[in-house]
Amino acid sequence: MATEKLYYEDPYIRNFHAQLVENGVDENGRHYVVLDKTAFYATGGGQPNDTGMINNVPVYDVEEVDGEIRHFIQTPIEEKECSGEIDWERRFDHMQQHAGQHILSAAFEEMYGYKTVSFHLGEETCSIDLEVQALGVEEASRVEERANAILLENRPIEVKWVTTEEASRLPLRKALSVTDNIRLVIIPEFDYNGCGGTHPSTTGQVSTINILHWEKQKKNYLRIYFVCGNRARKQLHEKHRVIQQLTGLLNAPQDKLADAAIRILDEQKDLKKEMSALKFTLLEEEANRLAEQAEEKKHYRFVEKIFTDKPMGELQQLAKNVTEKTSRGVVLFMSHKDDRLQFVCARSKDIDIRINEVVKALLPVINGKGGGSPMIAQGGGDPLLSPEAFAEKLVEAIENVLAETV
Ligand SMILES: [Zn+2]
């Protein structure tokens, strides 16, 4: 049974009484109630649903299925007599945005012939997609001016139910999507539009229409972002608060904020460059020092060190640097922190050991994982033995390999 839509008799109805028709569950297991009539608007035509209360139970979603309006609630309603109240602040905001969209779309079409192909009413901003590839700043500001002039004139926004025949005699902005029960929303001498949404009774109540920015979309459409009504005021406060904060932080007036940010980003880029050059020098020096300290073993020279402050990436670089500076060198760097033992093991070009195989054989002693190439390998595991003991195991393994090959 089709639900009687009270918002079509009067879009300003906030409270109403109705009879319960049915408690139901939809295909997603969500519980809903159907009433004989309702002031709750169901999502459609770009306008989101209302929220509110029925018998003090919150309504979190509203959908229309074949003329039946379903109010989604968490718990069933048993009483036959129901009283409903919609969240008026939310609804009026939707009315302002929706009417604002009609006016903005009509202004784009009237002034430049740009047709609106879709409308989105979001939580923060609204958008329309225009059938055009580019928009000039000047064009946008002229359209915004025209749209706001329509608000200032405080024209009536009328609703008319018409037949296809009657509709065909009016200058409709877009083709109708229905053939019977045609509902037109009309701003006389300006916009004639088939629409099922809720609108204020005069354009003045939209209060303001502000184009924010625009961006290219697929299919050569252009998406225009805008806000109307109380949203514009709220967002002005929010943006001003952010700008005040930035003005203080960057010590620059509003019109110099971008320059100040660019300066800081440039400085940061230079500092990063300087820092990586310094790091490179430090690693080189450290590699020289470590190479000099290499311990003479029977068939090779061993460099070993435990670190607590270097990331693995740096240890790998350092290990490569040291092996390049040491003939017949084997390097073992370990990092012992946060209850984890990690290591890098590398060798010079002039010594024939498959480091990845030595490491692989050793990993079980620390429950570890790892791998690499014959030249350099890395791994990590539990600190089941001290770094010193781990190093001893490695030396032993390397000596065994070398004893076989030499
Ligand atoms: Zn509409």
Write the Ramachandran bin of 146: left for phi over 0, alpha for psi from -120 to 50, otherwise beta. Answer: alpha
The answer to pTM > 0.85 is: no
What is the radius of gyration, based on Cα positions, of the chain?
A: 36
Residue 270 has pLDDT above 60, yes or no: yes
Mean pLDDT of the chain: 93
The set of residues, in sequence order, having a beta carbon less than 8 Å from that of 286 and lying 6+ positions away, is 318
- Whole-number pLDDT of residue 406: 57
Confidence of residue 403 (pLDDT cuts 50, 70, 90): confident
Distance 124 CA to ligand 1 centre (A): 19
Q: Are 225 and 124 in contact (CB under 8 A)?
A: no
Q: Are 335 and 345 in contact (CB under 8 A)?
A: no
- Please write the tens of the pLDDT for every residue from 347-401: 999 998 899 999 999 999 999 999 999 999 999 999 888 889 988 998 888 888 8
Distance 183 CA to ligand 1 centre (A): 10
Distance 191 CA to ligand 1 centre (A): 11
DSSP secondary structure string, 29-92?
S-EEEEESEE-PPPSBTTBPPP-EEETTEEEEEEEEETTEEEEEESS----SEEEEEE-HHHHH
Give the CB-side neighbour count of residue 72, counting CA atoms within 13 A.
17
Distance 136 CA to ligand 1 centre (A): 26
Distance 51 CA to ligand 1 centre (A): 19
Residue 338 has pLDDT above 80, yes or no: no
Distance 102 CA to ligand 1 centre (A): 6
Distance 65 CA to ligand 1 centre (A): 19
Q: Are 290 and 305 in contact (CB under 8 A)?
A: yes
Distance 228 CA to ligand 1 centre (A): 14
Distance 1 CA to ligand 1 centre (A): 25
Distance 21 CA to ligand 1 centre (A): 29
Distance 6 CA to ligand 1 centre (A): 18
Ligand 1 (ion): residues with CB under 5 Å are 195, 197
Distance 97 CA to ligand 1 centre (A): 10
